[in-house]
Amino acid sequence: MEFFSTPDLIEIGGYPFPIQGYKPTREEAVEYYRGVAAQEKLDIRLYERVTDVRGTAGSFTVVTDRNEYRARNVIVSIGFFDEPNLLDVPGEDLPKVTHYYREPYPYVQQKVAVIGARNSAAKAALDCYRHGAEVTLIVRSAALSDKVKYWIKPDLANRIKEGSIRAYFSTTVQEIRSASLVLRTGGGPV
């Protein structure tokens, strides 16, 4: 995956972030942040899960699966990417279903349904299409969202228009089966 911003917008601590291209890739960004952390000698405790935070401002106890720490202040920055929005439909737990997109190669010459059409779904659909997958996009709303970045949206819209990516709008998923999906469309089930 690629970052949406140019490197100058995601630089931290005054460290320059030179890259070859226009936008950093995930690997470039992770390597940059790793380098900054090493340079700043940040005290990072990896593979340690916070299970509880107790106390009040000025006197907190942070409990993890390995330790307990005392802190005057706590900043919680646990993001939201760890928690996918589940569809809650039959078949969602089949091994062919993933809630995270990593790379297109498992989907080469495969039929792939991408559910949703915000930025991550749009990028995954385009990436799979450009690596030889037959992609169908399933979208709850009647059109592509305005929240899709301005340089991604026309690419996806044009692929749909020319028929390279098939799209079902105003459609939800009712069931996922081993070799098909049952969709709830405006014109009835498909």
Supply the minimum distance, in Å, between the C-beta of residue 18 and ligand FAD. Answer: 16
Residue with tokens 């952390």, as numbered in its chain: 37
Residue 98 interacting with ligand FAD (CB under 6 A) = no
Q: How far is CA 49 from the centre of its chain?
A: 21
Determine which residue in the list 13, 79, 187, 188 makes contact with ligand FAD, applying CB under 6 A. Answer: 79
Pairing verdict, β 172-176 and 134-138: unpaired
Total site size for ligand FAD, rule CB under 6 A: 13
Pairing verdict, β 68-71 and 111-115: unpaired
Calpha distance 67→100 (Å, rounded): 30
Instruction: Report which of 102, 105, 162, 169 is spatially closest to residue 140, judged by C-alpha positions.
Output: 169
Residue 50 interacting with ligand FAD (CB under 6 A) = yes
Residue 4 interacting with ligand FAD (CB under 6 A) = yes
Calpha distance 86→28 (Å, rounded): 30
Among the candidate windows 31-39, 76-84, 89-97, 128-136, which touches ligand FAD by CB under 6 A?
Answer: 76-84
Residue 70 interacting with ligand FAD (CB under 6 A) = no
Determine which residue in the list 5, 98, 141, 180 makes contact with ligand FAD, applying CB under 6 A. Answer: 5
Burial class of residue 138 in the structure, from the number of CB atoms within 10 Å of its CB (0-12 exposed, 13-18 middle, 19+ buried): buried
* Interface mask toward ligand FAD for 113-152; x: CB under 6 A: -------x--------------------------------
Supply the minimum distance, in Å, between the C-beta of residue 136 and ligand FAD. Answer: 21
Residue 3 interacting with ligand FAD (CB under 6 A) = yes
